[in-house]
Amino acid sequence: MKYILIVALLTMSTFAKPYFRMTDFKYEVKYTNAQGYETIELHSVENRRADKMDSVQWVFKEYKITYLDQAYCIQDSSLVMVTSPKRGVFAATEYVPNPQIKYPPTIGDSIYVEQPTSNGKTMRGYLKVRGKIQHGNDTKEADKWVIEAYNIDNKKYSAVYYYSMKIGFVYLDYKLDDIGIVMNLTTYLYSIHVNEMDWFPEAFVE
């Protein structure tokens, strides 16, 4: 994977939250024993009235039709979490803990989760930070955190996530019974909020 970074203007202090104010992410998707969308986008949505950034949209494009999957997002000083996509073959991701990581990240950290599922039951699972890895050509350092996710009651459902403190989740590998789904970040585009009127875009392209 090769990245090209295009910066229009960058005047800001360090901002640890990767999902903020109109950020767009594009993932290339590969499947095992299934078919689906070749690419999926994740758009952040700013809740301006409450001044909270807790909403994201998974965007699925099929021919000339666009489907939006509204999802919940947490990003604060202690946790970053993004709800997995749920449309079509992705529906089974509800049986795996959503991508998430505690701050500050530490190897060995674990999170126990209980997620409600569409059948009215609860998925019990946990996530564990296993280490760091070099992923992509945007860096030669092992700066992506590797997180493994498990369903406690059904070992056929699991996932591996790579997390960048600058960009967010760059790689998601789901094992859903006999179906495999791998999502790899190829592009992101975001705007930096300098004041109430000024926005400056930055693009990150494969």
3-state class percentages of the chain: helix first, strand second, coil last, to nearest 5: 5, 55, 40
Number of Cβ atoms within 10 Å of the Cβ of 146: 18
Q: Could you tell me the two tokens for 99?
A: 């991508």
Residue indicated by tokens 């947490």: 74
**Confidence at residue 35, expressed as pLDDT on a 0 to 100 scale:** 94
User: How much is the pTM?
Assistant: 0.83
**Tokens 């700066």 sit on residue:** 143
Q: Are 42 and 60 in contact (CB under 8 A)?
A: no
Residue 146 has pLDDT above 90, yes or no: yes
Mean pLDDT value across residues 97-126: 96
CATH number of the domain that residue 161 is part of: 2.40.360
In the predicted model, is pLDDT for residue 194 greater than 50?
no
Give tens-digit pLDDT for 23-59: 789 999 999 999 999 999 998 865 444 455 577 889 9
pLDDT of residue 59: 93
Cα separation, 206 vs 189, whole angstroms: 12
**Rounded average pLDDT over 132-160:** 92
Token pair for 10: 């960058």
Burial of 48 (0-12, 13-18, 19+ CB in 10 A): exposed
pLDDT-based confidence at 7, cuts 50/70/90? very low
pLDDT band at 106 (very low <50, low <70, confident <90, very high): very high
Q: Give the chain's radius of gyration (CA, Å).
A: 17
pLDDT tens for 177-192 read 999 999 999 988 865 5
b/e sequence 188-206, b meaning 16+ C-beta within 10 Å = bbbbbbeeeeeeeebebee
CA distance 147 to 29: 19
Mean pLDDT, the chain, integer: 82
* Tens digits of residue pLDDT in 150-178: 999 999 999 999 999 888 999 999 999 99
Q: How far is CA 51 from the centre of its chain?
A: 21
- Does the bond joining 104 to the residue before it have cis omega, within 30 degrees of 0? yes
Domain count for the chain: 1
Of the candidates 109, 80, 73, the residue with the CA atom closest to the CA atom of residue 15: 80
> In terms of residue numbers, what domain contains 9?
4-205
